[in-house]
């Protein structure tokens, strides 16, 4: 697939080759040199994080060669798994336990070294907690203005991203020699993890010390689909009134649909649901097939995180709530009656 970005690079090469009367052989190798992307792949306990594979998809959209980057204790094992990712030409692996926790203090020098060594024109990471924490630090070390939360690639230097909580869409052109991007996971679905045959190469390891020590983590356990990648999401807001009601009504509804559970900021702030479930400008972005908002009014900060969902449904007792303006299916009613009824009827289907 030759994309807009590929074509404009090709034009650049052609322009140069006309003036310098270069051979067509050089033309194609120039193209390869002109566009090369390093996609940062996340791994956890030796398992590839599929959420980070949107970086590969974005790299493919750019055109040119795409290399994957993996670091950590079992980097080489994960690299073998990742070598099957469709679209990857090569994997750069750095096997060192020091990178397991994804600390930006030692990851940033690691990436800078490998970006310079590989002469990459583009470096892409997912707009995840890890990507957001790391890539700006790398950008500063490279003296580059990074572009965050990219939702579309229009050319090798032209990118589209949301600003003002998604109330405006900005198209920017970068003048930096290396483009650093974090990409929106809902805009760039994960690359397929089969069909590829990338080679694995050992990367450079500057062995920088991390000035930060990782102490512990406390991750919310869930058997449900992961919120950011779920096909269906049911989300609860302040209308649920208490944590008890949230826990009584939302999980059965989610289970009846096979959906992940989300929440509005109001619900999270009131302690009804865990922080990690927050959907919106300052929480997660989701774009499932179905987003069902229960007791959520639809403030702009919330809509920022879910308005790219394919179908939006809502249950709210206030017929004037802004959520009805974006919902494909809106039901005005008391959620304490409607949610149990909906759950029962879905289960009996």
Known binding-site residues equal 238, 264-265, 278-282, 295-302, 316
Using rule CB under 8 A, residue 108 touches another protein? yes
Q: What is the closest distance, in whole angstroms, from the C-beta atom of residue 126 to another protein in the complex? A: 10
| Residue 32 or 322 with smaller CB distance to another protein | 322
> Which position among 136, 196, 203, 237 is part of the footprint of another protein (CB under 8 A)?
136
Q: What is the closest distance, in whole angstroms, from the C-beta atom of residue 14 to another protein in the complex? A: 23
- Residue that has been written with the tokens 């995840």 in this structure: 128
- Residue that has been written with the tokens 């024109």 in this structure: 121
How is residue 190 annotated by DSSP? P
Q: What is the closest distance, in whole angstroms, from the C-beta atom of residue 294 to another protein in the complex? A: 12
Please tell me the distance from the alpha carbon of residue 259 to that of residue 303, in angstroms, as a whole number. Answer: 19
Please give the angle made by the CA atoms of 273, 276 and 278, to the nearest 5 degrees: 70
Residues of each annotated binding site for FAD: 238, 264-265, 278-282, 295-302, 316
Please tell me the distance from the alpha carbon of residue 229 to that of residue 215, in angstroms, as a whole number. Answer: 28
| Residues from 222 through 241 that contact another protein (CB under 8 A) | 228, 232
Please tell me the distance from the alpha carbon of residue 177 to that of residue 6, in angstroms, as a whole number. Answer: 16
Cβ atoms of 134 and 111 closer than 8 Å: yes
| Residue 213 or 223 with smaller CB distance to another protein | 213
Using rule CB under 8 A, residue 165 touches another protein? yes
> Which of these, 82, 94, 98, 77, lies nearest to 204 by C-alpha position?
94
> Which of these, 115, 107, 139, 138, lies nearest to 207 by C-alpha position?
107
> Which position among 28, 80, 173, 199 is part of the footprint of another protein (CB under 8 A)?
173
> Which position among 269, 318, 334, 347 is part of the footprint of another protein (CB under 8 A)?
269
| Residue 2 or 170 with smaller CB distance to another protein | 170
| Residue 17 or 276 with smaller CB distance to another protein | 276
Write the CB contacts of 240 (distance below 8 Å, at least 6 apart in sequence): 246, 249, 250, 267, 272, 294, 295, 335
| Residues from 13 through 52 that contact another protein (CB under 8 A) | 51
The helix-helix angle for 54-62 and 4-20 (nearest 10°) equals: 40
# binding residues, another protein (CB under 8 A) = 91
| Residue 144 or 198 with smaller CB distance to another protein | 144
> Which position among 77, 96, 152, 276 is part of the footprint of another protein (CB under 8 A)?
276
> Which position among 13, 138, 261, 287 is part of the footprint of another protein (CB under 8 A)?
138
| Residues from 81 through 100 that contact another protein (CB under 8 A) | none
HSE, side-chain direction, 13 A CA sphere, residue 326: 22
| Residues from 291 through 330 that contact another protein (CB under 8 A) | 300-301, 307, 310-313, 315, 319, 324-330
Assigned token pair, 52 = 């980070």
């Amino acid at each position: 697939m030759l994309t807009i970005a590929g074509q404009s690079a090709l034009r650049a090469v052609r322009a140069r080759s006309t003036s310098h009367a270069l051979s067509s052989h050089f033309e194609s190798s120039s193209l390869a040199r002109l566009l090369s992307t390093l996609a940062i792949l996340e791994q956890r306990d030796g398992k590839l994080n599929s959420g980070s594979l949107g970086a590969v998809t974005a790299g493919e959209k750019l055109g040119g060669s795409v290399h994957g980057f993996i670091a950590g204790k079992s980097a080489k094992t994960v690299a073998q798994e990742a070598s099957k990712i469709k679209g990857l030409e090569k994997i750069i692996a750095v096997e060192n336990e020091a990178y397991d926790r994804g600390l930006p203090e030692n990851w940033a020098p690691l990436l800078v070294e490998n970006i310079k060594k590989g002469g990459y024109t583009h470096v892409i990471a997912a707009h995840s907690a890890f990507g957001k924490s790391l890539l700006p630090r790398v950008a500063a070390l490279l003296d580059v203005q990074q572009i965050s939360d990219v939702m579309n690639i229009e050319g090798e230097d032209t990118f589209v991203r949301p600003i003002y909580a998604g109330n405006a869409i900005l198209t920017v052109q970068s003048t930096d020699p290396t483009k650093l991007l974090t990409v929106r996971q809902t805009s760039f679905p994960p690359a397929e993890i089969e069909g590829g045959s990338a080679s694995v190469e050992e990367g450079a390891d500057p062995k920088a010390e991390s000035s930060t020590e990782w102490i512990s983590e406390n991750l919310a356990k869930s058997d449900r689909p992961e919120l950011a990648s779920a096909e269906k999401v049911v989300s609860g807001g302040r209308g649920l009134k208490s944590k008890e009601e949230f826990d009584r009504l939302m999980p059965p509804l989610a289970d009846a649909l096979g959906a992940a559970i989300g929440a509005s900021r109001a619900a999270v702030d009131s302690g009804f649901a865990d922080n990690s479930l927050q959907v919106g400008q300052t929480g997660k972005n989701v774009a499932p097939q179905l987003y069902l908002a229960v007791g959520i009014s639809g403030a702009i900060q919330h809509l920022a995180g879910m308005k790219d969902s394919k179908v939006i449904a809502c249950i709210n007792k206030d017929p004037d709530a802004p959520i009805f303006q974006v919902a494909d299916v809106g039901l005005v009613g008391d959620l304490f009656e409607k949610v149990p009824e909906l759950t029962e009827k879905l289960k009996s289907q």
